[in-house]
Amino acid sequence: MVEMNLIQAVNSGLKCAMEGDASVVVLGEDVGMDGGVFRATEGLLKKFGPARVMDTPLAESGIVGVAIGMAVAGLRPVPEIQFSGFLYMAYGQLVNHAARVRNRSRGKFTCPLVVRTPYSGGIRALEHHSESLEAIYAHVPGLKVVIPSSPYDAKGLLISAIKGNDPVVFMEPSRLYRAVKEEVPEGSYTVPIGKAKIVKEGSQITVISWGSMLQQTRLALNHTNVDVELIDLRTLKPLDVETIITSVKKTGRCVIVQEAPRTGGFASEIIALVNEQAIFSLKAPVARVTGFDTIFPLYKLEDHYLPSTERIINAIEATANY
Amino acid sequence: MAEKLLKTFNVRHLQVLDDTGKADSRLMPRLSARQLVELYGLMVLCRRFDEKALSLQRQGRLGTYASVLGQEASQIGAAYALGKADWVFPTYRDASILIVRKQPMVRVLQYFGGDERGSIPAEGVNNFPISIPVGTQGLHAVGAGMAATVQKKKFAALACFGDGATSEGDMNEAFNFAGVFKAPVIFLCQNNQYAISVPVKRQTAAETIAQKAIAFGFEGIQVDGNDVLAVYSATAAALKKAYAGKGPTLIECLTYRIQNHTTSDDASKYRSAAEVELWKKKDPVARMRKFLERKKLWDNRKEAELAAKVERQVSEAVSEYEAVPKPEVDDIFKYQYEELPGFLRRQMDDYKNLVEGK
């Protein structure tokens, strides 16, 4: 076990996956010589050589598109898109092809592809570097969407994603890259995709979050006496419905915390599921704490946009005391 | 300070057979008499298949279909040159490529008849399913080619696309990646001069599509796309280059779409009958037949035998197609992920209970 932050855990996960399987390759802008703008791929070029660690032309659709061809022809590519704000350029390739290869060929071809991309705000960046539009990927049939919030999970989930045979959008909360350290095994291990984690058991209220907001939500729990059951989704698709519903049936109350804009965000889907499967256990309306339905502001105002501990505490207490 | 000329470029055009079927012996590809006859046989088969597909569509027995008529030389010449291990990334107007690449005709019909099972390639043949969004599949071909390089395997990838696709960003990214990584890729552009109704001069101000390759750092060549031997020859050369690690080639096949864009289109709205007539005179199948007759490899008796044979093959495929049982409802759900996730199982079971309960 070694103390690692989230970005070191991602780096370690890539290294383990590449050591374990010669078909795993990394490609993207600045992933080679530079080791990635966040250092996720540091040391990989030296260790695995330019055939497996490819600095590519600056073209996001091209990166994802060639990765699809590689995946179909026998590799396990792990393209990095430098910021999720630039992944939209490759959205067509993801929706039109990566997600459909298996279905279109009735299982004859598969697309084992893991698109890694940092997302979320709070890093004092330029426009397009702070967005949380995970819902637009979760909406697409055929894609899996994985969002870790801790170093241990990041490494284990990444290795699972690379070993799997389905395309995965792997979103890494950039604000948490260096925020916390924890003990992480140096060797290879997996954390299952599609399984949420109960971070803290509790009896009064279920609080659900993922990725960038998990840390903020944990902080908020220090400032309330409500006995919270905190769930980290870890995977948005396929979603661990059972863990959510079991918890909400137990507590009868639910708050969802997401950084993304409110309308059509993933919290909406969770509320719909709770309505369908646990509505008669509810003692209060389900609340959601979200970003605003606005363009993500530049950094002088970003702290107002990001759900604060205060907003989270207010929602938890209002729901608990309803 | 001085101004100097840094580079000059040329664009070649290749024609082996002229309109009357006369061959330039210096340019003849190395093909045996048997192969020449086989090539012609494939052209006749694919044309009959195409006619049949159009007629099935008109009778309501097939869905929307995109005819290959007039482009047989471009498709068959290229596909015939490929090796078994090579990959093909086709579009919706590449039925002849698929047939030459051993795709059972029944499956081609199944695909246009609304059944995904039609995209399953023959065992051991790497035909990727048809791509509908224009120009998006070039990148997949480049990725497959890059995979060959990484895995040190000997195969190349054929990217199929048309003149319209060359306007798409993805296609230009594909050219760029292929050039930078020297990927073993053959870009086969069937310039049939129309993207539905829009003529090629609205796609590009460049005089040829072939010359676009130059800007991406690799070779481009224009061939007479109604000359099967020219297309074969250019493809075989490009393949040899790809296997040798010398990178991609862009082959522009100058041809013409005789039919409407698809069975939902009416081309008389945007082009003249005279123009279509002009191109009918350059018919690729008739040209190859004239060539074989000149070489004393063909006669009316052989033609009649061939016509009867392809008629039988196509009819059998149609009967087989119409006898295929409908796919199961489960098939909608089964292939989304490697394992059926719980949420999808629930949707499937709910729906099946409803349907089966009736």
Name the DSSP letter for residue B159: E
Give the pLDDT of residue A223. 96
In degrees to the nearest 10, what's the CA dihedral of B39, B43, B49, B51? -170
Task: Answer yes or no: do B157 and A69 touch at CB < 8 A.
Answer: yes
Distance between CA atoms of residues A292 and B153, nearest Å: 51
- Direct distance between the N- and C-terminal alpha carbons of chain A, in angstroms, rounded to an integer: 44
**Cβ atoms < 10 Å from Cβ of A248:** 25
Quote the percentage of chain A above a pLDDT of 70.
100
Average pLDDT over residues A11-17: 98
Q: Output the CATH code of domain B12-327.
A: 3.40.50.970
DSSP, collapsed to helix, strand or coil, labels residue A128 as coil
Task: Answer yes or no: do B116 and A104 touch at CB < 8 A.
Answer: yes
> How do beta strands A228-232 and A205-209 pair?
parallel
Chain B residues 153-182 with a CB less than 8 Å from chain A: 157, 169-170, 173-174, 176-177, 180-181
Chain B residues 78-97 with a CB less than 8 Å from chain A: 87, 89
Q: Where are the domains of chain B?
A: 12-327, 328-358
Give the pLDDT of residue B50. 98
**Least Cα separation, residue A68 to chain B (angstroms):** 6
Chain A residue with CA closest to B125: the answer is A108
Query: Could you list the active site residues of B?
Result: 257, 261, 270
Chain B residue with CA closest to A142: the answer is B336
pLDDT in tens, B21-59: 999 999 999 999 999 999 999 999 999 999 999 999 999
Q: Where are the domains of chain A?
A: 2-184, 197-320
**Least Cα separation, residue A61 to chain B (angstroms):** 7
pLDDT band at B162 (very low <50, low <70, confident <90, very high): very high
Chain B residue with CA closest to A99: the answer is B336
State the sign of the Cα–Cα–Cα–Cα dihedral B250, B254, B259, B261: positive
Chain B residues 285-344 with a CB less than 8 Å from chain A: 331, 334-338, 341-344
CATH class of A197-320: alpha beta
Give the pLDDT of residue B264. 87
pTM confidence score: 0.97
Q: Pick from A293, A24, A256: which is nearest to A158 by CA?
A: A24
Q: Compare CB distances from A106 to B116, B173, B337 and report the shortest one's residue.
A: B116
State the sign of the Cα–Cα–Cα–Cα dihedral A28, A33, A38, A39: positive
Length of chain B, please?
Answer: 358
Query: Per the structure block, which two tokens stand in for A149?
Result: 């919030």
Task: Answer yes or no: do A141 and B338 touch at CB < 8 A.
Answer: no
Q: Pick from B289, B308, B249, B232: which is nearest to B20 by CA?
A: B289
pLDDT band at B112 (very low <50, low <70, confident <90, very high): very high
pLDDT band at B358 (very low <50, low <70, confident <90, very high): low
* Burial (0-12, 13-18, 19+ Cβ within 10 Å), B51: middle
* Burial (0-12, 13-18, 19+ Cβ within 10 Å), B83: exposed
State the sign of the Cα–Cα–Cα–Cα dihedral A43, A44, A46, A47: positive
Q: Phi-psi bin for A229: left (phi > 0), alpha (psi -120 to 50), beta?
A: beta
Distance between CA atoms of residues B227 and B69, nearest Å: 14
Residue B110 pLDDT > 90, yes or no?
yes
Task: Answer yes or no: do B144 and A103 touch at CB < 8 A.
Answer: no
Write out chain A residues lying below 8 Å of B181, CB-based: 54
Query: Which segments within chain A are labelled E, that is strand?
Result: 2-4, 24-28, 53-55, 76-80, 114-119, 144-146, 168-173, 182-184, 197-200, 205-209, 228-232, 235-237, 254-257, 287-289
pLDDT band at B242 (very low <50, low <70, confident <90, very high): very high
CATH architecture of the domain formed by A2-184: 3-Layer(aba) Sandwich (3.40)
pLDDT in tens, A249-289: 999 999 999 999 999 999 999 999 999 999 999 999 999 99
Give the pLDDT of residue A139. 98
| Residue linked to tokens 């020219």 | B230
Average pLDDT, chain B: 97
Task: Answer yes or no: do B338 and A110 touch at CB < 8 A.
Answer: yes
pLDDT in tens, A197-214: 999 999 999 999 999 999
Q: Pick from A222, A26, A37: which is nearest to A125 by CA?
A: A37
Give the pLDDT of residue B1. 77
**Least Cα separation, residue A108 to chain B (angstroms):** 7
